[in-house]
Amino acid sequence: MSEPICPLMREPCIEHRCRFYVHVLGKNPQTGADVSKFDCTFAWLPMLLIEATKAIRETDDEISAFREDTRKTQQHFATAMLGAVEQHVPLLQREDDK
């Protein structure tokens, strides 16, 4: 296997002497396999973008669920308020008749 070429310097990778050579520890977002590896930040970009997209989708799902719960709660509250108003309207109308 040939030596990796740095996309910035266009020379062989200097690995640990480079600020862009980082250690990533976690799980692969596509396979779920554990990851503990040093590599160039540019090489990590596709996997990190996939992970960010997955996190955004999960957040969107949570927001949608929260929005639906909030809508249901507001609907119950509005129904309760309407019931309370309807109970007091006849009393107000009777006072106006006097």
Name residue 22's beta-bridge partners. 39
Name residue 25's beta-bridge partners. 36
Give me the half-sphere count of Cα atoms (radius 13 Å) on the Cβ side of residue 74. 6
**What's this model's pTM, rounded to 2 decimal places?**
0.61
Retrieve residue 1's tokens: 């296997």
Q: Parallel, antiparallel, or unpaired: how do β-strands 21-27 and 34-40 relate?
A: antiparallel
Position 96 scores a pLDDT of 54
pLDDT in tens, 31-89: 889 999 999 999 999 989 998 999 999 999 999 999 999 999 999 999 998 888 887 77
Q: What whole-number distance in Å separates Cα of residue 95 and Cα of residue 27?
A: 71
Q: Where are the domains of the chain?
A: 15-97
